[in-house]
Structure 1
């Protein structure tokens, strides 16, 4: 496929994956029909409808690119800390990652609700897993930023993720989705008509807000629990190390005392050796004199 054809495919895909989920299939088919006879027609027709989680992630990329860029920036810093084996920075960034993905997922649910789609907890979990994968793996980050996901992303971080099947087309990796503002509301009706379901809708909206607040609280509580467990583990390790240091210091004191005693004994031994050397020299001289006297008498 030529560069111009690829550019056209990416431009069309960018438009289609930015549409409301229900509009994707009819809009795709209409575009493919209009392009019949062109090199790109078959590729457009083959574009897959995104899953709900993938659509929410694509919507987030277009409606709140700043948050997505922050997610990717923290992910890059996290990978750098892992490569550098900086334990303190790694723990801090891991906590930040959990807090950030939970907060951004909550924001994504709000954006989806504004588009008329209520996101279940199961779908929200897939969105958060996608954000985590984008932080852990650089190629997953590229897939997310393309805004052309067709499936949620997952990765263990131990091996390079396979993202080709999660994006609409392989060429999407490296593509940056165009930002899109929320659709402006239509012209208001000047005739106010009482809504007989207003109370029920208000209750439903309040229940939804409460559910989201409870989920955000649960995520924050889990992050707090993880942080507390880490602190307790490190405190216990610190106490253990302090005890080991105290034991080693006591051993050092004993060794230093033994070294001082050995120095004293060495000085005494050296003095005794000097005296023994003097006695040996005197004995040698006496022996030599006796030997000489004997030799003279025997002549």
Structure 2
């Protein structure tokens, strides 16, 4: 890694939130011979809880984050191409994915001893949504060096100047630090030891499951409310269109009846016209005959 400050920042922002400040200050003293580097380290800000949760997710499950960013890129492409069907599908996929990944990120934080509030969860989800909507936000998230949460406006004017630890973070990729899996070849020595806190732990685990279930329920209810509003809007539009169709059908029936009456009247008028034409021709013949008789008298 070419930039020593980025290398140090990558390590610092991977630490538990409570360890950040003492570790940063210790590193600044360690590198005091390089005044510029020491000043850069000292200037690294502690991440907010929401930013720390996103940074944790980026390092613990980078594949999941890459999936989020890939869906975001596809969504932006659908928007640019004005593909309505893809746009609807990716928007739905975006909401489901950000909600699911947010729940996982909060679970990772809880495993590291940090409980997050609903407000923090909303900020995490907003940050993931911003990363899907804005390419620069995606790069900021993937750096793992966020210090604040993000919120996209959708207008392409997202200000990231104070959102990352250092400006060079955009384009940097955080080092993956997954939790080590247990070695299946090593058989643990089992001893039966009563756990005095078993009931407490069981209740805590049940509370965590309940919290996750409530979070999932909240997401589902939110989607249901949106779907219900869409159904109600479309039903109202259907009733309006049906009313307009009924009115048009009634108007068509009236016009058809009027057309039949006019057609009958047209037939009668044409017959009268034919008789009048015949009378005109007969009168003209009589005029011509009278003219000839008069001419003979003059001759």
Same fold? TM cut 0.5: yes
User: Is 1:152 aligned with 2:149?
Assistant: yes
Residue 137 (str. 1) matches residue 128 (str. 2): no
Task: Give the equivalent residue in structure 2 for 1:37.
Answer: 34
Q: Using a 3 Å threshold, how does the CA distance of structure 1 residues 236 and 202 change in structure 2: closer, same or farther?
A: same
Contact 2:20 2:46 in 1 (8 A): yes
Structure 1 residue 124: Cα displacement: 1.6
Counterpart of 2:114 in structure 1 is: 117
SS in 2 for 1:164: coil
The answer to whether the 8 Å contact 1:102/1:128 transfers is yes
Cα 1:36/1:251, change in 2 over 3 Å: farther
Conserved 8 A contact 2:31-2:37 = no
Q: Is the contact between residue 102 and residue 121 of structure 2 (CA under 8 Å) also seen in structure 1?
A: yes
Paired residue total: 294
- Cα shift readout 1:48-102 (whole Å, capped 9, x = no counterpart): 221111010111122222322333344344445556272x665554444333222
- In the other structure, the counterpart of 1:106 is 103
Q: CA deviation at 1:206?
A: 3.0
- Summarize the alignment of residues 88-103 of structure 1 with structure 2, pairs less than 5 Å apart: 92-103=89-100
| Partner residue in 2 for 1:163 | 160
2:234 is aligned with 1:234? yes
- Give the whole-Å Cα distance in 1 for the aligned partners of 2:35 and 2:26: 14
Preserved CA contact (<8 Å) 1:137 1:160: no
* CA distance 1:244–1:286, shift in 2 (3 Å): same
- CA distance in structure 2 between the aligned counterparts of 1:231 and 1:283, rounded to whole angstroms: 76
1:104-127 CA distance string (max 9 Å, x none): 111001111222322223222221
- Asked whether the equivalents of residues 145 and 175 of structure 1 are also in contact (C-alpha less than 8 Å), the reply is yes
Which sits farther off after the overlay, 96-105 or 74-83?
A: 74-83
Taking the TM superposition and a 5 Å limit, the aligned residue runs for 1:255-270 are 255-270=255-270
Shift of 1:182: 1.5
> Is 1:67–1:104's contact at 8 Å kept on the other side of the alignment?
yes
Other-structure match for 2:211: 211
Pair 1:273–1:49, CA change in 2 (3 A):
same
Give the deviation of 1:154 after TM superposition. Answer: 1.5
Residue number in structure 2 paired with 1:13: 9
Counting only pairs closer than 5 Å after superposition, residues 38-57 of structure 1 correspond to structure 2 as 40-57=37-54
Shift of 1:254: 2.9
In the aligned structure 1, how far is the partner of 2:270 from the partner of 2:5? 94
Alpha carbons 1:25, 1:49 under 8 Å: kept: yes
Q: 1:291 to 1:213 in 2, by over 3 A?
A: same
- Pair 1:235–1:169, CA change in 2 (3 A): same
Q: Partner of 1:25 in structure 2?
A: 21
Counterpart of 1:273? 273
Relative to structure 2, which stretch is displaced further, 103-112 or 123-132?
123-132
Q: Which residue does the alignment assign to 1:245? A: 245
Question: Structure 1: which 5+ residue stretches go unaligned?
Answer: none
| Distance 1:131-1:235 versus aligned 2 partners, 3 A rule | same
State TM-score, norm by structure 1: 0.78
Q: SS at 1:18's partner residue?
A: coil
Q: With the length of structure 2 as denominator, give the TM-score of the two structures.
A: 0.78
Match of residue 254 from structure 2: 254
Compute the RMSD of aligned alpha carbons. 3.7
Q: Aligned residue for 1:71?
A: 68
Is contact 1:62-1:179 (8 Å) kept?
A: yes
What's the offset of the Cα at 1:197? Answer: 4.2
- Residue 276 of structure 1 and its aligned partner are, at CA, apart by 3.4
Structure 1 residues 274, 183: CA separation in 2 closer, same or farther (over 3 Å shift)?
same
Deviates more, 1:74-83 or 1:138-147: 74-83
